[in-house]
Each structure stands twice: as structure tokens, then as C-alpha cells.
Structure 1
Amino acid sequence: MASHIVGYPRMGPKRELKFALESFWDGKSSAEDLEKVATDLRASIWKQMADAGIKYIPSNTFSYYDQVLDTTAMLGAVPDRYSWTGGEINLSTYFSMARGNATVPAMEMTKWFDTNYHFIVPELAPSTKFSYSSHKAINEYKEAKALGVDTVPVLVGPVSYLLLSKAAKGVEKSFSPLSLLSSILPVYKEVIAELKAAGASWIQFDEPTLVKDLESHHLSAFSAAYSELESALSGLNVLVETYFADVPADSYKTLTSLSSVTAYGFDLERGTKTLELVKSGFPAGKYLFAGVVDGRNIWADDLAASLATLQSLEAVVGKDKLVISTSCSLMHTAVDLVNETKLDDEIKSWLAFAAQKVVEVNALAKALAGQKDEAYFSANAAALASRRSSPRVTNEEVQKAATALKGSDHRRATTVSARLDAQQKKLNLPILPTTTIGSFPQTVELRRVRREYKAKKISEEEYTNAIKEEISKVVKIQEELDIDVLVHGEPERNDMVEYFGEQLSGFTFTANGWVQSYGSRCVKPPIIYGDVSRPNPMTVFWSKMAQSMTARPMKGLRLATRLLLQSRRRSRTLRLVVFRLSKSMRLL
């Protein structure tokens, strides 16, 4: 039984690519230094998957910035303002599109579906000329092959690329980027020809827009594109990969009717309706790449449940045509649990980062082939049972409080005008009061103090005195500027989410659980493993201290609930988690 990974994190287990990129951008290292880090990361990823027993290993999922921008480079679709004159696109042009430069702005960036990742939006016009201008896909395929790893090259599909594009500035509103389909397909044909000549036997087209509610002309574009590519794809096994949601019935019908396509990849974690579509009708002789291991969260898979799903699919598509996969690229989760040496052992047993999900995929493939690792499955079942029964997960007081919430609890008891009147009587503010948002710059000295306190090199008293001194400076600055409503500057807080999360039960934090947001920007979301409550006051001490330093109003500052929700328990609905967090965050 075969296994497959849709994609893998690029940054490295300890953000090696992030630091290499920023060093290069700062002029502290060369392009060769950056390429060396990238080459080493790619090699380690391919080796890791090969050693784990994965059959279909992706290549060209690595990126210096973004996979959609890589496709723009491949197509030579560089906006005129970057003064590109043709030829192979170099790092200077590539990063100018991504980040801008001293004379021109960057291209627009927006969210990749409903993830926290952001992609660079292509800017297209009727006059855009396309040419094969980045050989990254073929180069990385050959690079892996030289290491003894035969990979599946991954390309952003031509239709999704155009549907995710926007009209360039100044172009008529009636222009549709999809009208350029016939113009970009020749470049795709060139890429396909090179991959075939290099020995590729499979190719993966990511067409995630198939999960959207598409109009009939959009679906016709998929049929037209893959029909036009059919002769070029002859002799290759072609996988069209979708993810993040259900594939609507009409899109499923269109996709499974494409004669040039050998295999279909579906997100069966979020696509329960797609699962039913597959069971009700799947084309004979085609491969199903079943995305049963969740690529977007950090929890260990329920291997027994996934195996049962796979066994039900086996009867539909045939044992030799079923491939076990991730629901989407693993770039949306953290890299490797092995680097979490300080994480609580019990909670750690409940988790699976990208490296562990690779192992889960292969364990399922082996189990389906009759080679089940009983010890591994038993350990997984024990971890799931531990999570379900742990008193750290379910807090009866929180459960009761959440159950007792009424509709009126989500609305203020007084009107806006009444609150404004009370505020004015209390604060006596001018017609146009001045204030600041909250945080003041974190100085080098302040960071040193926090670092030394965390390392236990200074006492709590010394730390408190240092923070008090910083707050005093911030208050004085604001009074000198005649600000009406002051803030204390938040010198005691480093990462805002981590600062508040560490004071809430039901939360934990990782040391290296970084996930790419865009470019070199990574975030380290909290893990909400249980019912959330606030054991002690979180801001009162510092707010009272700051208010004692001035006669002017001092704002109390806390984090918005939504910023604490970048990671949450799969077993709880978002609405319920929001209610419980909001209740915990109330400043009573």
C-alpha cells in the first residue's frame, strides 16, 4: 500500500531558512550562503520522508517565499514596474516582487484560503506576456534524483493560478485573468516536457480552487486546460490535488471526468461530503489519494478511525489504487516534536507535528497492507484515551459556567449613550481626547532584563523594579506630550499571545512550534488543550502600578480573544471556545 505527502514545512525545524533569508536581505550573507541552507533543508526533508517509507515524495514544494510567487516566476509574469528584461528570474527580481525595493512596492499579499498562510497575488493584464523563466521545478527534481530520491514534482495548477490572480492596476474591470488560460498553457507544456525528459513518472497539480463554489465557465476551464495538456502529459501519471474543504458535486464530476488525470487527491479530514461522493461513485482504474491525516492541526491522528475509513474506501477504489496521504500540505503545522524538550510529557503524547504525521501516514499504509505495527497503534490509542479522560482537559467549573451562559450575557446591559455619559462624568475628557494604542518600543535594555529574569540571573524584585522604571518613563513621556488617556507601554510583555496564554489554564506553548505565515515571518500559535479558565488576575498588578504614577486616566490593556484562537482543540466548536475564552479574559 502506497503513501504520499502533499507538501512539507520549508522553514526548517529551528527556522533555519528564516534566519538565512533575513541575513541575505540584510546583506550579511551571500546568495551562495542562502542556497546552501536551502539545499541542505531540501535534502534533509527528502531523506526523512524516504527513510519513513513514503512512496510519493513531493518536490518543488520548497520556496524562498511563496509557491504562487514561484509559479509567477515560472511563467515570467513579472509586473512591468520591476524592470525585468527577460531570462531566468534571479533572486533580486524575485524578492522585489515579494517585498518591494527602494523604488517600487511589493505585489499584494492575501490569505491562502482560510489558513494563516499568505500568498503573493499575481497581477495580470491582457498584455501580459508569458515565458518559461524559472526552472526551479526541474532543478529540484534533478537535485532529489541525484540524492537517490525519485520525487513527484508539484506545480500550482494552471486554472487555480488564474482564479487566484487579480487584474493589474489600470486594467478594465471586465477583464478576467482566466481569459489568459491559453497563453499560460504553453509554458506548462515546456515544464512538463522537461520533467518527462528528466525521468519523472508522476506530476502533481495543486488545484485547491476546486473546493470553492465555482461557476460553470470556471469548471469548463478545468476541462479545457487538462484536455489541452493531455498530449504533453502522455506517459505521465497525473495527480490533481485538492484541499481545505469539500469538493462540491459539480466540481467532483468535472474533476473525475478529466481523461488526462490518473489520480485525485481529496481532503477527507474536512471533506466529509467528498468522502460520500467517492463512496457513491469513483472512476474505475483511477487512483484515490486519501487525505486522512490532518495537515492543519497538531494533534495525533486517530489511527484506528483513519484505518476504518481507508478500509471502507478500499472496497470502492480497489486495494492497488488507494494511496494514503495528508489532507493538505504539512506546511500549515509545526515541524518536529523532537525539538520540544520542555513540553509536558502528557500533552506531548497527544501531539503530532509534521515529522510525526509523515510516520502516521506510513503506519496507516502498512496497516492497510496487512503489516500493522500493533505497538504503534496501541500507543496511539492510549494517547487518545489519555486526552479524553485527563482532568486537565475538562474543567467542570468552566463547563458549568459555559452551560449557564444566556443570550443576554453576550450583550451589554446599558446603552452606548448611557456608558458614554458615565465615562464623561468619571473622566472629564475633552471633545477630541488623545491616546495611543498601547505598546511602546521594547528597548535593548528591556529585552536584556527580561532575558536575565527568565534565565534566573536576576531576582523577581530586580525585574519588577526594572519594569516599574520603564513604565515611569513611558508615563512621563505621555504627560509631557499632553496625552489625555495614557497607557503603561506594556514593558512586561514580550509576545502578547504567549504572555496572556501562559496565565490561562488549558493553554500551553512550544519552544519551536513555528508555522510560516509569509516569507520569513513565522508564528508560534498557542495550543489550547483543555477548557480555558483564568486562575488569577492577569493585568491588575501592572495597571494599578501605572495608574498610581499619574492623575490622568490609565487604560487597562488586554489581548483580543480572537488572537488567542490561532490553535484550538479539534473536539470543541469555535463558538464554544470563544465564549469560554471571553469569559476568562473579562477584567473583573
Structure 2
Amino acid sequence: MTVIHNLGFPRIGKQRELKRAVEAYWAGELPQGALLQTGKELRSRHWALQKAAGLDLIPVGDFAWYDQILEWTCLLGAVPARFEHAATADVDLDTLFRMARGRAPQGKPAAACEMTKWFDTNYHYIVPEIQPNQSFRLARTALLEQIAEAVEAGYNVKPVIPGPLTWLWLAKGEAYTQGATDAAKLDLLPALLPVYQDVLARIQALGIEWVQIDEPILAVDLPAVWRDAFKGVYSSLQQGSLKVLLATYFDGLRDNVSVLNGLPVEGVHIDAVRAPEQIAAVRAQLSAEQVLSVGIINGRNIWRTDLDKVAQLLKPLKAELGDKLWIAPSCSLLHVPVDVEGEEGLDAELFSWLSFATQKLDELQWLRALVDNKVDATVEAALEAQRKALKTRAESPRTHNPTVAEKVGKLTTLQRDRAPFSERIAAQQARLNLPAFPTTTIGSFPQTQDIRKLRRDWRSGALSDTAYEKEIRAEIERVIRFQEDIDLDVLVHGEAERNDMVEYFGELLGGFAFTQNGWVQSYGSRCVKPPIIFGDVLRVMPMTVAWSQYAQSLTTRPVKGMLTGPVTMLQWSFVRDDQSRADTCRQLALALRDEVHDLEAAGVKIIQIDEPAIREGLPLRKADWDAYLQWAVDCFRISTSNIENDTQIHTHMCYSEFNDIIEAIAAMDADVITIETSRSNMELLEAFENFHYPNDIGPGVYDIHSPNIPDQAWMVELMRKAAKRLPAERLWVNPDCGLKTRGWPETTEALKTMVAAAKELRQA
């Protein structure tokens, strides 16, 4: 039979058990032993589920307490000096957490390591920090212990580890840039590879036959020196009878396919969902003895697979390769929810269209039966249900709305350009009268348990609409008064009514659906529940106007209206796959345009349209960038079209490298852009300086993802660094992201310090 396997399973648990346990441990409410037991129970549950689904190889190493790259960094002993970790000691769990978030129950707080997006996904990883002459050693054995745990439980284990070249590519330091295009980081391979050899030897000693080594950088533009390194690296990793499956995903190999020619590995996995056209080229590079693992079930979206269509693609390969053909999801299932069962809020038709991680394992079983021509009555019944669901979705009238089609049809006549920035900023300053280094926040304030309970009670019907509105208004007033008291210049209403920056809007738009437990890990313990865009998007009614108008009525200071941008709503949703993403994004932009105009008419003169995901949506290959950026930037400009000069448009982007797309960022033409710069020590401002970015910028002066609070001198120094690169009159002072996940005591202290820092800057 054809081998079916999985590259990784969601680690958080169906009910976010891992999140709850980790956060309880951080808060001192759960002993470490109980935390470790929760992790063990989740791993055991997920291994059993995958074995029950008929998988021939069970992945181990996909579990992580915060992030799989951070786990591997700790295994390698690459702990930055500021964490004061003994060079000969094992890296413990609290050190791992301090690296991730700056603080843990034990150990001295320190500045957290940088965090950024995992390729073009909404998952974040902790960036490894390296330096010249970096030393490596096997400093954490959790992976080996988990492999032994799974072997003892009787599973046929396939360990999963990050590849050495991908890990180096992602790493950075003062002497190294992320994704370096030169050979500098490759000089560390002689120190790095012995640890890999040691780990692989220990894996083999545990009786393991196959190990999966992930090298997703084969899907990006690689300099020749990096491509040339693969053969030598993998020759050094040969370990007795241990077989290596080299895994790539998120795009095709394209010009990197030559790396596979003669590469000393026993198998290669490719993403045939993103790039089905690469199958023949990859097959041509492999020998008759090498396995080709075809990732053909979409690991990044939630629609059922057309198994008959896929089987027709795979059957010729099966005839040619025999048992050397393996079948798998395109990438780790980390990027989809755990299980669609129990989603009682979805109607039967929409429910039948969906496939989460657990269902994708079933699809693998059925696909194998089709490819191997071994379809029994049970499989045939499952396939018939699959076919019916696909047919129902294709023919459903709910996916298309003639009103939306009419609005999209008029896009060619829509004027996107605004007046020159110099005219706009003069009109805005005359209206707003802001001081130098104006202070603001990114939008959200702490979401307390009381606020969450308030929303739950309202949704369940335990609280009336009138009572709910009264409580939310009271919370808005508290937030406004707080901001006035600490003397912020531009206020926000706090977003107490919002569960999530995308989900909130999706619930008020046509064409969206929502799950109850469709949680996906974003970073660490942070989970999101992406909406499902199943049909045409239409704004049915105003979404934020009443709350923003009420907040503005409470104060004479300007209050920002807060919206999530069209690209971010697209990127952070599970998107329909029956039309282009660009077409769906234009529908979102038109819906937001209506909201912007209504906010402006209601007297809200600063409107923030957040686009943190615009860099995330960038294709992995530069050859594809222009097409994406054209429609992504155009969608932002659609949402801000035809507004008055004195209406100030802000946008926020976090944890994104801008150097290579700065022209596109400028083309969005937001009056003010706020960005993350605290973890990177203002490093991102180099892009804005070198390009001579023309509009206002708010470089984040403190990291909201860490509970640590920088002092006033630190914030002032960061802003002085910024002022050396950019005109001081164009600088704003703000945190680097929203404050939703923080507590009130630390928020109060941090914002008071931030305001004091701005006042000190004004006196200089």
C-alpha cells in the first residue's frame, strides 16, 4: 500500500488545552510538573488520533511549548548572553520562555528575542540569535525524550526537525542579517553540524527508520552559495541506516530543483498544492531508489479535497514509482484547526464543505484507497459524501451576490489618488493641532476576564442588547478617561466589543462564517479563530461607527476609528478557493470603503486601517511580488478613496521586514504608519531612511508581547535613534502593537512612561 504520513499536527489541543496550561504556569497558578503532564497528554492524544487514521509514520517533534524553531535553538544551546545561562547547563523550560517573552516564573527577566512571521503564514517564530564563532552543543533533550516516549507507546515514529540550512537562514545577529544573501552564516556550519550528527545518531539508536528534516528555504530565492551547500551538508548528516526525508513546502522549488540532483537523502517531500506543476521536474531529479512524498492535501486551508481529481494526478505516479510514492498534506497541519466535529453553530451545508486537521487525515486514507485501487464499501460511502459536498458547494447560490458583482464592476472608474501628502498634513494639523512627537496607542486595550464574560453573556442571551450596550459604553468611557488622565494626544475607544481584529468584522459582513472551536496557533499561547470566507463579501450595515462616534463625543481630543485592512482580513481568514484571492480582497476593500466614509461623516477624523499582514502575504519568490503588491496596495487605496484632505489615515504593520517592499508601503499613501521597532532596536527604520519615506511614522517604543516595561530613558533613546534617521517633525510615539493581551497594571505603567518620554523629547 502507498505510504501515508503527516508533516505535523496542531499542538494546542482541540480546546486550547496547551494555551491554558502554559498561561497558568506563567501566572504561577500551575506547577511545572502539571504543565509537563498536560503536554504529555496532548502528544499522546494526537499520536493516537493519527495512528487511528491509518498513518504509517507518526510525526514527533512537532510539539513545542512556544515555537518549534525556538525549541531547536534551545536544543542547539544558542542562548543569547543576556539570559545569563550557564554555558554547560541544559537549557530548561524557563530559559526557553524567557527567550520567547522576556520573563518566566524562574530566572532574571531580559529583553525577549525577536519574533517574526513563519514564511508567508500567520504563524510566528522566535528568531535565533547568532554571532561569529557561535558555539553549539546538545543542550536540551526534550525531543529525544518525546521520541522515546512515542516509541515506548508503540508508534512508528518519524521525528521532525528543522534543517541546518533553514535554521541558519532564519537566524540573525549583529554580524548577520536574516536570510543573508552571502556566505557569512555558512561559516558556522562546521560548528553546527556536529550537533545535528549527534542528534541523528541518538535518533537512530532509538530504533527510528525515517527522520523528516524540514528545509522550507528551498521554496525561496536562494543564492548559489546556499544551494551549493546542500550536498555537503546532507553528506555529513548520513547516519548509518537512518533514512532522511527532506521536506519542502509553501511553494515550488523552481530553480532550486537542481539541489535534489544527487542529494544524499532517501526521500523528498514537496508541496503539490501550492505548486503541482513541479512534480515532473522534481521526479526527474530523483533516482529510482528515492521516495517522492507528494503533499496533495491542503495543509493551510479548510475546504474538502477533490479526491477523484487528485487521484487522477497521482495514479500515473503510482504506476511509475510503486512503493516509492508517499502521500501527505502539503505542509504541517499546524495551520488549520484540530477538528470540525462539534461545530454546532455551522449550518449543515457549510459544515459539509469543511475539512480540519482530523478530517484531512481521513482524506489521506480515502485518497490512498483510490490511488491503490482498494476502495471498499466503507471508503466508497465516504467518497460519495465527499463528492456530494463538493457538488453542493460548487452549485450553491449563497457563494455569489449580484450586488457585490455590480460594485466590483465599477472599480475601474474609482479614483484612488488623494491630494499630495504636504497638502493633506497641513490640513490635518490645522484641524488636529497635535504637539511634536504626538502620542497614541495602536488600538486595543486590555481585554479583562470581565470584558470577555460580558461578551459571552451577551452572545448566549444571558445579557440583553440594552444591558450589553450600556456596559460597553461604560468601558469605552473608562478607557477614554484613562487616556485623558495620562495625557495621551490621540485616543482610541479600546475595542472592548471586539473578540478579534478580523473575526469582529467578519461577523458583520456577508459572505463570512464562523466556528466555535476553530482555533489556530499564531504564536506562543496566542491562538486565533480565523473566519471562513465562503462567498462574496458585502457590508450589510455600519460596523464600528456607533462605538467610535460615542467615544469621540466623550472628549475634545481626537479619537481614532479602528478598522482592519482588506489584505489582513484576507490573510487571516480561511479564504474561498473558487476565485482569486485578489478578487476576494477587492470585495473586502469595497466593504471597508463604505465604513470609512460613514466614520468620516460621523465626525471621526483619524481612521486607522491596520495592515499587519501585508508583508506576510508577499509571495516567497520575488518574481511574483509585483503582481501581488499591485493588487494589495490597490485594495488599501480603494478602502481610503474619496475622503477629505483633513481626514488622517493611519495604518499599522507589526513584525515585518520592509526594506524590500518599501516602495509599495509608500504607495499605500497612509498619512501615518506605525510599526514594530522595539525588539529590533529601531533596525527597521533603515528601510524608511534609505528610501526617504515621505509620510509620518510611529516607531514602536516598547514591546507589548513581553510583560517587561522599558524605562523612560530607554524609550527616549530609541526615539533619538529614530530622529537621527528621520525628520523629528514626522515622528509619533506609540507601543509596537495593540494592548489586548496585556494586563492593566503593566499597561498603565508603560503608557505613563511612554507619555513622559514624549514630553522629554519635546523639551530637547
Please confirm whether the aligned pair reaches a TM-score higher than 0.5, indicating the same fold: yes
- Which of these residues, 270, 273, 278, is aligned with residue 266 of structure 1? 270
- Determine helix, strand or coil for the equivalent of 1:392: helix
Q: Which amino acid aligns with 2:339?
A: D
- For 1:87, the equivalent position in structure 2 comes to 89
Partner of 2:739: none
AA matched with 1:504:
L
Instruction: For residue 439 of structure 1, report the CA deviation from its aligned partner.
Output: 4.1
Which residue in 2 is equivalent to 1:116? 122
Counterparts of 1:480-559 in structure 2 under 5 Å?
A: 487-546=492-551, 555-559=560-564
Distance 1:512 1:564 in 2: 19
User: Does residue 462 of structure 1 match 2:467?
Assistant: yes
Tell me the distance in 2 between the aligned counterparts of 1:389 and 1:191: 52
Report the equivalent of 2:589.
582
CA contact (8 A) 2:398 2:535 kept: yes
Measured at CA, do residues 378 and 180 of structure 1 come closer, stay the same or move farther in structure 2, by a change above 3 Å?
same
SS in structure 1 of the partner of residue 211 of structure 2: strand
Alignment of 1:386-397 (within 5 A): 386-397=392-403
Equivalent position of 2:287 in the other structure = 283
| SS of residue paired to 2:158 | strand
The amino acid that maps onto 2:386 is N
Q: 1:56, 1:152 within 8 Å by CA — same for their partners in 2?
A: yes
Percent of aligned positions that are identical: 42
Cα 1:391–1:170 shift into 2, 3 Å: closer
Deviation at 1:10, TM superposition (A): 0.7
* Cα distance in 2, alignment partners of residues 129 and 414 from structure 1: 55
Structure 1's unaligned 5+ residue stretches are none
Q: Is the 8 A contact 1:293 1:327 kept in 2?
A: yes
**Structure 2 residue 368 is the aligned partner of structure 1 residue 365:** yes
Which of residues 439, 445, 455 in structure 2 aligns to 1:450? Answer: 455
Three-state SS of the structure 2 residue aligned to 1:507 is: strand
CA distance in 2, matches of 1:375, 1:357: 16
Q: Is the 8 Å Cα contact of residues 491 and 560 (structure 2) preserved in structure 1? A: yes
CA contact (8 A) 1:13 1:339 kept: no
Amino acid paired to 1:227? S
Contact 1:334–1:513 under 8 Å retained in 2? yes
Q: Distance in 2 between matches of 1:78 and 1:119?
A: 15
Tell me what 1:312 maps to.
316
Shift, 1:435, TM fit: 7.5
**Equivalent residue, structure 1, for 2:382:** 376
Q: Alignment RMSD, CA only?
A: 2.7
Identify the range of structure 1 (47-56 vs 461-470) with the bigger mean alpha-carbon deviation. 461-470
Instruction: Determine if contact 1:212/1:248 at 8 Å carries over to the other structure.
Output: no
Q: Is residue 167–residue 177 contact of structure 1 (8 Å, CA) maintained in 2?
A: no
Aligned: 1:48 with 2:49: yes
Aligned twin of 2:152 = 146
1:569 aligned to which of 571, 576, 579: 576
Mean Cα deviation higher: 9-18 or 374-383: 374-383
- The separation in 2 between residues aligned to 1:111 and 1:324, in whole angstroms, is 27
Give the match's secondary structure for 1:253. Answer: helix
Alignment of 1:343-358 (within 5 A): 343-358=346-361
- For 1:339, what is the secondary structure of its paired residue? coil
**1:126 touches 1:175 (CA, 8 Å); kept in 2?**
no
Give the corresponding residue for 2:27. 26
The structural deviation recorded for 1:59 is 0.9
Aligned to 1:222: 230
Instruction: Report the Cα offset of residue 574 of structure 1.
Output: 2.4
Q: Which amino acid aligns with 1:190?
A: D
1:401-457 superposed Cα distances (whole Å, 9 cap, x missing partner): 212310x52514655566667767xx8443649674544555665444433322222
Secondary structure of 1:305's aligned partner: helix
How many Å apart are 1:122 and its aligned residue? 1.6
Is 1:212 matched with 2:217? no
Report Cα offsets for 1:303-323 as digits up to 9, x if no partner: 11211111132244x121111
1:431/1:388 Cα in 2 relative to 1: closer, same or farther (>3 Å)? same
- Check 1:211–1:397 CA distance in 2 against 1; reply closer, same or farther (3 A cut): same
Structure 2: tracts of 5 or more residues without a match? 599-764
Change (3 A) 1:153 1:403: same
**Cα distance in structure 1, aligned partners of 2:510 and 2:37:** 43
Question: In the alignment, is the contact (CA less than 8 A) between 2:339 and 2:356 conserved in 1?
Answer: yes
Code of the aligned partner of 1:90: D
Cα distance in 2 for partners of 1:168, 1:192 equals 30
Task: Confirm or deny: 8 A CA contact 2:123 2:522 kept in the other structure.
Answer: yes
Relative to structure 1, the CA distance from residue 69 to residue 441 in structure 2 (aligned partners, 3 Å threshold; closer, same or farther) is closer
**Aligned-residue offset at 1:515:** 1.0
| Residue type at the aligned position of 1:136 | A
Distance in 2 of aligned mates of 1:570 and 1:381? 17
Give, in whole Å, the separation in 1 of the partners of 2:347 and 2:549: 34
| Counterpart residue number, 2:680 | none
Aligned residue type for 1:290? V
Deviation, 1:348, is 1.4
Q: Which amino acid aligns with 2:341?
A: V
SS in 1 for 2:407: helix
How far apart are 1:495 and its partner, in Å? 2.6
How many angstroms does 1:106 deviate by? 1.8
SS in 1 for 2:13: coil
State the one-letter code of the partner of 1:371: K
Matched-pair contact (CA < 8 Å) for 2:160–2:214: yes
Shift of 1:49: 0.8
**TM-score, normalization by structure 1:** 0.91
Cα gap change, 1:355 to 1:446, in 2 (>3 Å): closer
Q: Distance in 1 between matches of 2:351 and 2:306?
A: 15
Q: Secondary structure at the match of 1:496?
A: coil
Alignment coverage as a number of residue pairs: 579
Structure 1 residues 138 and 400, CA gap change in structure 2 (3 angstroms): same
Report if the CA contact (8 A) 1:167-1:176 is conserved: no
Q: What's the TM-score once normalised by structure 2's chain length?
A: 0.71
